[in-house]
Structure 1
Amino acid sequence: MPPATLRRPPAVARVLQQVTNSARGHSLFEPGSLVVAAVSGGPDSLCLLHALVRLRRLLRIRLACFHFDHRLRVGSRADAIYVRNQARRVEVPFLMRTAETAPRRGDSVEAWARTARYEALRSVMEEIGSGRAALGHTADDQAETVLLALVRGGGLSAISGMEPLSGPLARPLLHTTREETEGFCRSLGLRPRRDPANQDPAHLRVAVRTGVIPLLEARLGRNVRTSIVRSAELLRRDARLLDELAMAALPGVVSRQGEDVVLHAGRLSELPDALASRVARRVLLGEAIAPEAEHVAGLLRLAVSRSGSRVSLPEGLRARREREYVRVSRPSPKVAR
């Protein structure tokens, strides 16, 4: 069905304006680019798909629909069929991947699912030559993310929430509420799929969504989600400035010697903590490690430790203080005899 003939009742038009403002304000999509919409079948991602279909001519983008089946519950196959039919209805190519592994005992199911889903998404993007994916995170998701980061003791970057554009991932609905995505779907007669896990308060995010935020709003008599989202946006501005300053300091602190990364201990220790920690994080990210606070703190301790001090890092990585430097290296593989 051509975009011009698609219905745009008021609830739909409101979301379309929000997505347009976000796409233009944050330069989410390059003209002529192929955008992969990640669609679970829930109201947020379904709203995302139908919104981008209606805006693809205005935004000058090509669109594909991607669905990932985690195989975590009975009925997940029906979700995939539903999303495929939605993509066909709006004449958008449909792409699907199915989980080939399962979370191990003791693993966070939510973390495993997120990692598996994003890996599959990136694989599909590479396969079809797409440089941008659109995700259905809403203002409600942003508020939940910020509160969870506070509970977990996250730093500025964590409590700043999600960026509208992070690498290849765009989030056009970050200024759209869950109530608005639900209204969008109702206006078009859509019946989104429902994942029971999204209502299970055993998951911390669900507990925040169904318990903490409603309690705050009831006690304060106001919509706290909007305020939290606004605060996160202000914090992101500060975080970006610190990131830029850290990047400017990086060449004077970090160099590479063969396969090793070498940090000048004196220069690293002279940096303000906010910049030094960001430099350390960049080093770890460059070595394909998702840095946690203890890893960053370990590198920073070496900068003021005596020569010979060591720190073990994930993925077999090791850091050692050598005279005026901190050397980050991987052990050489053993040669079979």
Structure 2
Amino acid sequence: MDRPGAVAELRTALTRFLGEHAGTVDRWCVALSGGADSLALTAVAAAVKPTTALIVDHGLQPGSATVADTARAQAIELGCVAAQVLRVDVGTVGGPEAAARSARYHALERARAGTPVLLAHTLDDQAETVLLGLGRGSGARSIAGMRPHDPPWYRPLLRVRRDRTRQACAELGLTPWQDPHNTDPRYTRVRLRTEALPLLEDILGGGVAEALARTAAALREDTDTLDAMAAEVLAGTGPDLPVAVLTPLPAAVRRRVIRGWLLAGGACGLTDQQIRAVDALVTAWRGQGGVAVPSAGAGERLFAGRRGPALVQYREPV
């Protein structure tokens, strides 16, 4: 039997996703860059529900305003009820990729007006994310990849290969924008896409991207279970974290309790190494000082330390 057309495949993926995760949604936004993935998603989304396209102009390349305006016009032609260009200033924290991503998500959050946002991440994007997590040794949470449903963010194409979105654009007669950043080897994700993954596919005989995506799904199930156990423990504590509560817990649950406690206290951008350092205040207590953890507070640093029978958080000026 012939394989169905790419547009039909994307429509099926969106309909299935709608049934699994978004059955009560009556309208949505779609994050549109003008590239093949988001353009194809916009086309099928606009045919299903009232859709507003949100186009983020990062202003990082010459002509970015023209690219954004073209994407806006394409969205209207595809049947979107509205299309809005969001111009942002990209900072430098975390490097260019992380800074652009942070600016983009903040802009989408402000503009979505309480509605869900469809993101056009594909199975290939998921595989790259898992590889990045493996390479950085940042723990199971990172290797578990992107969630299909992480309100307000919805990713209905995580089971669809990237080449199918390009084929869908061709079937629809759409001309997607070719982002030069997607072929720039200065970016880690580009080298994974163009060098590492093709090499792994060759060595292992194909199917690597799908296998990495399946690994992410399995790890998410495990992570969700452990997170739920940790949340139950954390709900029974106060601002200080009793060591007697933490000590009997399995290591995976204990570190999740610590992570949730730190986040509740204002920490952000935590790494596995930092969480393990705080965990050592419980498991390898030798009178050591507090552990500095990143936080959004300006002019001061957040610490986790041990004071007698409990872990406490405190801040000190920079």
Query: Is TM > 0.5 for Structure 1 vs Structure 2?
Result: yes
Q: Which of residues 267, 272, 293 is equivalent to 1:313?
A: 293
Q: What secondary structure is seen at the aligned counterpart in 2 of 1:55?
A: coil
Deviation at 1:173, TM superposition (A): 0.6
Tell me how far apart the structure 2 counterparts of residues 157 and 318 of structure 1 sit (CA, whole Å).
23
1:78 to 2:56 alignment: no
Q: In structure 1, what residue type is equivalent to 2:16?
A: N
8 Å contact 2:90–2:99 — kept in the other structure?
Answer: no
Corresponding position of 1:267: 245
1:123 to 2:110 alignment: yes
Q: In structure 2, what residue type is equivalent to 1:88?
A: I
- The within-5 A match list for 1:15-94 is 15-25=10-20, 27-28=21-22, 30-32=24-26, 34-56=27-49, 62-89=50-77, 90-94=79-83
- The within-5 A match list for 1:140-219 is 140-219=124-203
8 Å contact 1:38–1:134 — kept in the other structure?
Answer: yes
Q: In structure 2, what residue type is equivalent to 1:108?
A: G
TM-score by length of 2: 0.90
Shift in alpha-carbon separation, 1:230–1:312, aligned structure 2, 3 A: closer
Q: In structure 1, what residue type is equivalent to 2:258?
A: A
8 Å contact 1:140–1:225 — kept in the other structure?
Answer: yes
Q: In structure 1, what residue type is equivalent to 2:19?
A: R
1:96 to 2:91 alignment: no
Deviation at 1:29, TM superposition (A): 5.1
Deviations 1:80-99 (A, max 9, x none): 11111012212421122212
Q: What secondary structure is seen at the aligned counterpart in 2 of 1:317?
A: strand
8 Å contact 2:139–2:272 — kept in the other structure?
Answer: no
Greater Cα shift, 112-121 or 313-322: 313-322
Shift in alpha-carbon separation, 1:103–1:320, aligned structure 2, 3 A: closer
Query: Cα RMSD over matched residues?
Result: 2.0
Tell me how far apart the structure 2 counterparts of residues 29 and 74 of structure 1 sit (CA, whole Å).
41
Q: What secondary structure is seen at the aligned counterpart in 2 of 1:303?
A: helix
Q: What secondary structure is seen at the aligned counterpart in 2 of 1:146?
A: helix
Q: Which of residues 2, 6, 10 is equivalent to 2:5?
A: 10
8 Å contact 2:53–2:84 — kept in the other structure?
Answer: yes
1:229 to 2:213 alignment: yes
**Structure 1: gaps (5+ residues):** 1-8, 57-61, 256-260
Greater Cα shift, 172-181 or 318-327: 318-327
Shift in alpha-carbon separation, 1:300–1:121, aligned structure 2, 3 A: same
Shift in alpha-carbon separation, 1:103–1:311, aligned structure 2, 3 A: closer
Tell me how far apart the structure 2 counterparts of residues 224 and 91 of structure 1 sit (CA, whole Å).
36
The count of aligned residue pairs is 307
Deviations 1:159-200 (A, max 9, x none): 111110113111011011101101110000100001111011
Deviation at 1:67, TM superposition (A): 0.8
Tell me how far apart the structure 1 counterparts of residues 292 and 218 of structure 2 sit (CA, whole Å).
36
Deviation at 1:235, TM superposition (A): 1.7
Q: What secondary structure is seen at the aligned counterpart in 2 of 1:330?
A: strand
Q: What secondary structure is seen at the aligned counterpart in 2 of 1:270?
A: coil
Tell me how far apart the structure 1 counterparts of residues 275 and 22 of structure 2 sit (CA, whole Å).
31
Corresponding position of 2:298: none
- The within-5 A match list for 1:275-290 is 275-288=253-266, 289-290=268-269
Shift in alpha-carbon separation, 1:13–1:270, aligned structure 2, 3 A: same
Deviations 1:222-264 (A, max 9, x none): 2311121122212211111111111122234x31xxxxx2101
Shift in alpha-carbon separation, 1:308–1:322, aligned structure 2, 3 A: farther
Q: Which of residues 96, 100, 112 is equivalent to 1:113?
A: 100
Greater Cα shift, 307-316 or 283-292: 307-316
